[in-house]
Chain A
Amino acid sequence: MRVSSWLVWLVGVVLLGFLALGWWGWRMGGLPLLQLGMPLC
């Protein structure tokens, strides 16, 4: 299966973006709002 280079870039950006967004959210104080208690499934 041939994968276009732009798709490989997109995969990389999504992966890194995910980690960056999560890290930034935790740093912004993400934990306290979890107490709202939303379904996890």
Chain B
Amino acid sequence: MGTAWRTAGWILLGASLILALSLGIRHGFGLFLAPMSSDFGWGREVFAFAIALQNLIWGLAQPFTGAVADRFGARRVIVLGGLLYAAGLALMALSDTPWSLSLSAGVLIGIGLSGTSFSVLLGVVGRALPPEQRSLGMGIAAAAGSFGQFIMLPGSLGLISLLGWSAALLALGLLVALIAPLALLVRDRPQPVPSGSEQSLSEALSEAAGHSGFWLLALGFFVCGFQVVFIGVHLPSYLVDQGLPAGVGTTVLALVGLFNVFGTYAAGWLGGRLSKPRLLTALYLARTVVIVLFISLPLSSWSAYAFGIAMGLLWLSTVPLTNGTVATLFGVRNLSMLGGIVFLFHQIGSFLGGWLGGYLYDHTGSYDLVWQLSILFGLMAAALNWPVREQPVARLRQARVA
């Protein structure tokens, strides 16, 4: 028992560090927009396109890297992902044309992220821990990813100030390369299955595709991506439009980042005690109420700070709850792949939240319509998660009886 717990502890620590490095460094990419665009005389759309492409490639690659991790063990996927991520950063440092930026920051880093982020690492954590500890473990690992984001923003900024953007990217590439040795902590072998009950990839996919809960979770996660990227990208401009100083947007995003760490951990802890789909319903409803209050009440610096704290608590809290529910419904054997498909919906939502925010602003002259969409989507996500029953599929129930 002691050895098993120690092993699980090392795996959780390794997964947490890898997530903190991977998500933390990715989180600071926005800081490179201004210096790179100005050095090469690019419009902002060049960099924005590369990051949008990265999000899409990340989402599209995730089910495949997840499936490979499920079948052959996550360690190789993480090592390869870390090396691709590092190579992408090195090539990004040398990029001087839009297409080389899209190839490095978009394609290589997008694929690298799919091997070193939530779906693969939370799959590892899910397999390492017993069911009653799974949600808490996922909450801890996801909180570590959030903490990495909070830390690496100023870290990346410091490196840019000290070394310039190109050398800073090379330094970040070296940091990301540490993921490869850290992957040695991640002992993850494919789950043993009783002989004769092995589920093929297509059987696993068709089981999930035929389960309403899977699609309801995926559609709910779409809303998560839409809301957080819309707010993350457009909130600072919204606050300036409303007459607040630019520094307020800064502080609000910092508060989101800080309280996100506590919210994600708390969500994982609660998910081990209460129904995860019901918690997701409550979480999306709470987001909706917070957004309604924020845009209806008179706006001040303090109301914006309160919004940042509240949204931070509700930010990535969806991650351990959504992945935890997928694990409960379908087991952990194909968790990285199934979690990857759900994450693809999140990334489509992220893409739309960032893009539609700008598009509708340009066409209507305000963010009102996007806020209203966020409220409507929040209510929809709450309703979508409510009917999800946290009950394993018949195959797992029968296996348990046998």
Interface, chain A (partner B; CB < 8 A):
1, 3-4, 7, 10-11, 14-15, 18-19, 21-22, 24-41
Contacts and interface: CB of A to CB of B under 8 A. Distances in A.
A39 B31 contact: no
A20 B257 CA distance: 18
Interface string B140-164: 0000000011111111111101100
B105 interface: no
20 contacts: A1-B7, A1-B10, A4-B184, A7-B184, A10-B178, A14-B17, A14-B21, A18-B155, A22-B150, A25-B151, A25-B154, A28-B158, A29-B161, A30-B154, A31-B247, A32-B250, A33-B31, A34-B249, A36-B34, A41-B350
B392 interface: no
Given A1-B10, A40-B27, 20 more contacts: A1-B6, A1-B187, A10-B182, A18-B148, A19-B151, A22-B154, A24-B155, A24-B158, A28-B158, A28-B161, A29-B161, A31-B247, A31-B250, A34-B249, A36-B34, A38-B232, A39-B228, A39-B354, A40-B260, A41-B315
Interface of B: 3, 6-7, 10, 13-14, 17, 20-21, 24, 27-31, 33-34, 51, 148-159, 161-162, 178, 181-182, 184-185, 187, 224-225, 228-229, 231-237, 246-247, 249-251, 253-254, 256-257, 260, 315-316, 350, 354
Given A3-B10, A32-B250, A40-B228, A25 B184 contact: no
A20 to B, nearest CB: 9
Nearest to B246: A35
Contacts of A3: 10, 185
Given A28-B161, A36-B31, A41 B154 contact: no
Given A10-B181, A11-B182, A26 B154 contact: yes
B228 A22 contact: no
Which one of A18, A28, A30, A40 has the greatest number of beta carbons of chain B within 10 Å? A40
Given A11-B17, A34-B153, A40-B232, A21 B158 contact: yes
A37 B228 CA distance: 12
Contact of A37 (B20, B30, B162): B30
Nearest to B34: A36
Given A14-B178, A19-B151, A38 B31 contact: yes
Per DSSP, chain B at the interface is: helix
4 closest A-B pairs by CB: A38-B30, A25-B154, A30-B154, A22-B151
A30 B158 contact: yes
A7 B34 CA distance: 37
B157 to A, nearest CB: 5
Nearest to A17: B175
Contacts of A11: 13-14, 17, 182, 185
Contacts of A37: 30, 232-237, 249, 253
Contact of A30 (B153, B182, B184): B153
B21 A25 contact: no
B6 A21 contact: no
A21 B181 CA distance: 20
A22 B148 CA distance: 9
